[in-house]
Structures are given as C-alpha cells and as structure tokens.
Amino acid sequence: MTGKKPLELLRKRGKIYKELDLENSKKTDAQLIKLMIKYPGLILRPIVIIKNKAFVGKMNVKNLK
C-alpha cells in the first residue's frame, strides 16, 4: 500500500529500535513485520490512508493527493 520496504517504515531513533539493535541486524522483511506487530512503537507515525494509498511518517501535505 505504501510501496516501501518494512525497513523504511521503522522509527530508527526509537528506544525499541535501539534495544533490539535493528541497525546491526540482518532481518528479513517477514521478520521485521513480525517485530512491527509485536512492537507497534517501531512503526513511523503518522499513518494517513487516502484512496487506497498509505503515507507513513513525516510528509509534505502537497503530496497527499
């Protein structure tokens, strides 16, 4: 829906990201998705869905079309 890989949707400055040492980890997309489900705080915010398209993280309002 976003066209991005799971790694691109993570809050890299977040406490959980650092605690799990994900910067130095070679997780698969499936493993990252499982971690995102277990620890929703890993996911960038806000998440905006418009017409079947999702925008995640900081964004320019002009791009929400």
Inside any domain, residue 1: no
Bigger pLDDT: 26 vs 55: 26
Q: Which domain holds residue 37?
A: 6-63
- Give the mean pLDDT of the chain: 87
Inside any domain, residue 39: yes
Most confident of 1-5, 25-29, 50-54, 61-65: 25-29
Asked if 32 and 6 count as a contact pair (C-beta separation under 8 A), the reply is yes
| Res 35: pLDDT | 97
pLDDT at 61 over 80: no
pLDDT at 21 over 90: yes
Bigger pLDDT: 50 vs 5: 5
Name the DSSP letter for residue 20: T
Q: What is the CATH number of the domain that holds 35?
A: 3.40.30.10
Domain count for the chain: 1
Give me the amino acid identity at 24.
N
